[in-house]
């Protein structure tokens, strides 16, 4: 009989109640979703139809803990749909997403439930709630209002239709980007065309070719392959071809996202105009630190004014340099990384191929774990008994200073066709406290780092080292959480605040004290030479103006898409070109358009929020400045950072939390100083 039990509908009787991945089959998901939705609906009805008067405990708090089975199946399914997907899973996602949207709409449209929530909210001043209770009440009330609970008749029904349609469109957008990325490969059999590419890059290309049953070398659009090709390949025509394919993903007939973009932004606009907001950005930013689109645009323009002069200087310098070594053309977009890498090497005698041997993945991982131990007293223990969804995943138990269990930590490092590009942190279980028990989280980071080859372990580029630190910062935010309610714990914070813990960790990549500890040659065990450390630090601001302008351009196009106040008339390409015009350093390329592959804002959670990376940079530079003043491992400052920021999740307004840590509001000065822009 036990063979027929759906593992997704049982309480996980595993180590720390982790997901039993190896027992879950495709046929288990849909029945689990349907049963999970059914049970969650019953729980909602119990709360909505409770004959007792509405109270914080029997309404607001009760809502926090409904749908345990649904949360269980959803976390497993959607995390795997990003990290280890297949055609069946993607088809099922398209089938399931509308059901979940419908269920979500049923909750916020339940008039009896809404009346109870409103009753509690209207009496909040008499309830003597603590800070976290007040926050969860405010958040729950606003989520209902912002989902249409206060609307009448046709408007309420239209909100339901829009939500369902958007869930399908955003899913399709992401699937198209993944498919477009995986659909291309550059297969080279003539060794002459490989000029300039380092041995490590070539060896990885050979491994990719073998995996595809081909001879020679294969390069793909996945970052560990695409980026070094653009940096080192002498063959300009191949660089141009690679760039044009990469920058035109989903901008052509195959996996086309142009119409999907138009539909997404128009539906988002229609939705918020039902609430009498002029545009989607205004609606979103009410629940962000930045508060208004005007503040965001002013912020981005302030940074653009500070960085564009330096970016132009860098551009001219690179043009002159390229000409000095034989370029008889104006630099194009596919030339930037190539000549920038050469100039950086000439200026600082440092490049990724010089530093890679010192950044073996296993050593970097241990160095980052040790950093967490030094700052926060936590330790990591590999546990091969905990089930995992792919053989390449490492699973750790995380313990606090006193040896108390803190979290499960999954680490998934290398690219594969079943995994989306980029890097991210996620959770399989949130932290929360219920009936006096602290339920600890299950946290995961998913990356696309350089693979090991037949002769070399995984050797990271410096950019991959900073990416690791970044995602690990998010993971710490999740693992160290000490909140009562799951919807406030860990990284459940304002979008323009969530990048603070992650970007804060990146600072250590440029600190000699940390580099000295973590970087050892993978063959000899030799510590990274002091002069190479100095070169890494000195080169930290290389082309910082250009990098600033590039990030600002992404923020501006995001704000443009979500500030429209009527449906789009012009083409996606024309709209993007206008929005990014102030940041352009290169002539426009008709075949390229970034928006159709901009998953952050059209398939992720960053719509009207991409500026948050730069916003959080102001926070992280200001926060790290406090460490620099007292020592980058200072226990007093680290304890304050942990207790006031990392443990608190979204339990209080982020500016209140930040000022409690820093003693003042953040200043833009440390960021400009760190970036060499003042």
Chain centroid to CA 620: 16
φ/ψ (deg, to 5) at 523: -95, -50
If pLDDT is split at 50, 70 and 90, which confidence band does 254 have? confident
Output the pLDDT for position 3. 55
- Give residue-wise pLDDT tens across range 367-403: 999 999 999 999 999 999 999 999 999 999 999 999 9
- Give residue-wise pLDDT tens across range 169-207: 999 999 999 999 999 999 999 999 999 999 999 999 999
- Give residue-wise pLDDT tens across range 502-520: 999 999 999 999 999 999 9
Give the contacts of 82 (CB within 8 A, at least 6 positions apart).
419, 420, 424, 426, 446
Output the pLDDT for position 153. 87
Please name every residue paired with 361 in a beta bridge, in sequence order, or none if there are none. none
Using alpha carbons, select from 178, 185, 181, 183 the residue that is nearest to residue 238.
185
| Topology at the third CATH level for domain 2-150 | 1.10.1370
- The residue written with tokens 């049982």 in the block is 10
Give the contacts of 456 (CB within 8 A, at least 6 positions apart).
200, 203, 522
Chain centroid to CA 315: 29
If pLDDT is split at 50, 70 and 90, which confidence band does 4 have? confident
Other CB atoms within 10 Å distance of the CB of residue 198 = 16
Burial of residue 20 (CB within 10 Å: 0-12, 13-18, 19+) is middle
Other CB atoms within 10 Å distance of the CB of residue 568 = 16
Residue 398's SS3 state is strand
Rounded Cα distance, 79 and 606, in Å? 18
The pLDDT of residue 586 is above 60: yes
Output the pLDDT for position 2. 47
Rounded Cα distance, 65 and 110, in Å? 18
- The residue written with tokens 């399914």 in the block is 77
Sign of CA dihedral 174, 177, 180, 184: negative
Q: Are 47 and 62 in contact (CB under 8 A)?
A: yes
- Given the candidates 3.90.1300.10, 3.10.450.240, 2.60.120.620, 1.10.1370.40, the CATH classification of the domain at 357-544+612-674 is 1.10.1370.40
Residue 238's SS3 state is helix
Average pLDDT over every residue of 258-263 = 98
Output the pLDDT for position 1. 35
Q: Are 163 and 272 in contact (CB under 8 A)?
A: no
Q: What is the mean pLDDT of the chain?
A: 95
- Give residue-wise pLDDT tens across range 312-335: 999 999 999 999 999 999 999 999
Helices (H) and strands (E) in the chain, counts: 27, 9
φ/ψ (deg, to 5) at 603: -135, -5
If pLDDT is split at 50, 70 and 90, which confidence band does 421 have? confident
CATH 1.10.1370.40 residue spans of the chain: 2-150, 357-544+612-674
Rounded Cα distance, 231 and 533, in Å? 21
Q: Which residues are catalytic?
A: 471
Give the contacts of 314 (CB within 8 A, at least 6 positions apart).
543, 545, 546
Rounded Cα distance, 499 and 483, in Å? 19
- The residue written with tokens 């009760």 in the block is 62
Tell me the CB-side half-sphere exposure of residue 672, using CA atoms within 13 A.
14
Q: Where would I find the beta strands (DSSP E) of 393-552?
A: 394-399, 405-412, 424-429, 432-434, 437-439, 442-446
φ/ψ (deg, to 5) at 33: -60, -50
3-state secondary structure 131-200: HHHHHHHHHHHHHHHCCCCCCCHHHHHHHHHHHHHHHHHHHHHHHHHHHHHHHCEEEECCHHHHCCCCHH
> 104-108: long-range contacts at Cβ-Cβ below 8 A with a sequence spacing of 24 or more?
104/147, 104/163, 105/147, 105/148, 105/159, 105/160, 105/163, 105/164, 106/41, 106/44, 107/44, 108/143, 108/144, 108/147, 108/148, 108/149
Rounded Cα distance, 306 and 612, in Å? 18
In eight-state DSSP terms, residue 520 is B
Q: Which two tokens stand for residue 278?
A: 């002029």
φ/ψ (deg, to 5) at 243: -60, -45
Average pLDDT over every residue of 618-637 = 96
Other CB atoms within 10 Å distance of the CB of residue 453 = 18
Say if strands 405-412 and 442-446 run parallel, antiparallel, or are unpaired: parallel
If pLDDT is split at 50, 70 and 90, which confidence band does 286 have? very high
- Which stretch of 252-256, 329-333, 428-432, 497-501 has the lowest confidence by average pLDDT? 252-256
């Amino acid at each position: 009989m036990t063979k027929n039990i759906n593992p997704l509908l049982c309480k996980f009787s595993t180590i720390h109640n982790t997901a039993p991945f190896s027992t879950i089959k495709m046929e288990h998901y849909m029945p689990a979703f349907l049963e999970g939705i059914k049970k969650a609906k019953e729980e909602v009805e119990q709360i909505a139809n409770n004959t007792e008067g509405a109270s914080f405990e029997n309404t607001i708090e009760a809502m926090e803990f409904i749908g345990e089975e649904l949360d269980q199946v959803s976390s497993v399914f959607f995390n795997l749909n990003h990290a280890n997907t297949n055609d069946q899973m993607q088809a099922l996602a398209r089938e399931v997403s509308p059901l979940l949207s419908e269920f979500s709409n049923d909750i916020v449209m339940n008039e009896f439930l809404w009346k109870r929530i409103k009753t509690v909210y209207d009496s909040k001043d008499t309830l003597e709630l603590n800070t976290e209770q007040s926050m969860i009440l405010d958040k729950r009330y606003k989520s209902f209002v912002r989902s249409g609970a206060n609307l009448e008749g046709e408007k309420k029904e239209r909100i339901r239709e829009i939500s369902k349609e958007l869930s399908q469109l955003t899913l399709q957008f992401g699937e198209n980007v993944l498919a477009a990325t995986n659909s291309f490969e550059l297969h080279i059999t003539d060794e002459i065309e490989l000029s300039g590419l380092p041995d490590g890059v070539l060896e990885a290309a050979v491994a990719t070719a073998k995996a595809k049953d081909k001879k020679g070398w294969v390069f793909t659009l996945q970052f560990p392959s695409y980026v070094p090709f653009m940096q080192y390949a002498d063959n300009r025509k191949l660089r141009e071809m690679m760039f044009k394919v990469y920058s035109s993903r989903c901008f052509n007939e195959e996996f086309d996202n142009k119409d999907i973009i138009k539909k997404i932004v128009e539906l988002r606009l229609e939705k918020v105009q039902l609430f009498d907001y002029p545009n989607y950005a205004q609606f979103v930013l009410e629940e962000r630190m930045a508060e208004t689109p005007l503040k965001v645009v002013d912020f981005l323009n302030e940074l653009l004014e500070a960085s564009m002069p330096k970016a132009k200087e860098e551009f001219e310098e690179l043009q002159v340099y390229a000409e000095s070594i034989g370029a008889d053309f104006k630099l194009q977009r596919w030339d930037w990384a190539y000549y920038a890498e050469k100039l950086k090497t000439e200026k600082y005698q440092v490049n990724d191929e010089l530093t890679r041997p010192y950044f073996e993945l296993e050593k970097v991982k241990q160095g980052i774990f040790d950093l967490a131990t030094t700052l926060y007293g936590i330790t990591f223990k590999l546990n091969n008994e905990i089930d995992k969804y792919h053989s390449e995943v490492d699973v750790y138990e995380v313990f606090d200073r006193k040896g108390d269990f803190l979290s499960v930590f999954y680490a998934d490092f290398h690219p594969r066709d079943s995994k989306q590009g980029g890097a991210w942190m996620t959770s399989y279980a949130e932290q929360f406290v219920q009936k006096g028990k602290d339920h600890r989280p299950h946290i995961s980071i998913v990356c696309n780092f350089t693979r090991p080859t037949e002769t070399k372990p995984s050797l990271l580029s410096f950019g991959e080292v900073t990416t690791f630190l970044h995602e690990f910062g998010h993971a710490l935010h999740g693992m160290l959480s000490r909140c009562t309610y799951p919807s406030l714990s860990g990284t459940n914070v304002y979008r323009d605040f969530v990048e603070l813990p992650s970007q804060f960790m990146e600072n250590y990549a440029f600190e000699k004290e940390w580099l000295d500890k973590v970087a050892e040659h993978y063959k000899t065990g030799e510590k990274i030479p002091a002069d190479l450390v100095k070169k890494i630090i000195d080169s930290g601001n290389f082309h910082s103006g250009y990098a600033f302008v590039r990030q600002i351009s992404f923020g501006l196009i995001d704000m443009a898409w979500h500030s429209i106040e009527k449906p789009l008339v012009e083409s996606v390409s024309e709209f993007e070109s206008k929005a990014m015009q102030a940041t352009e350093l290169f002539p426009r390329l008709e075949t390229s358009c970034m928006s159709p592959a901009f998953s952050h804002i059209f398939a992720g959670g960053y719509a009207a929020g991409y500026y948050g990376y730069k916003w959080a940079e102001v926070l992280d530079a200001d926060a790290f400045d406090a460490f620099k003043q007292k020592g980058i491992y200072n226990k007093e400052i680290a304890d304050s950072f942990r207790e006031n920021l990392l443990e608190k999740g979204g339990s209080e307004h982020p500016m209140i939390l930040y000022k409690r840590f820093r003693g003042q509001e953040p200043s833009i000065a440390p960021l400009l100083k760190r970036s060499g822009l003042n």
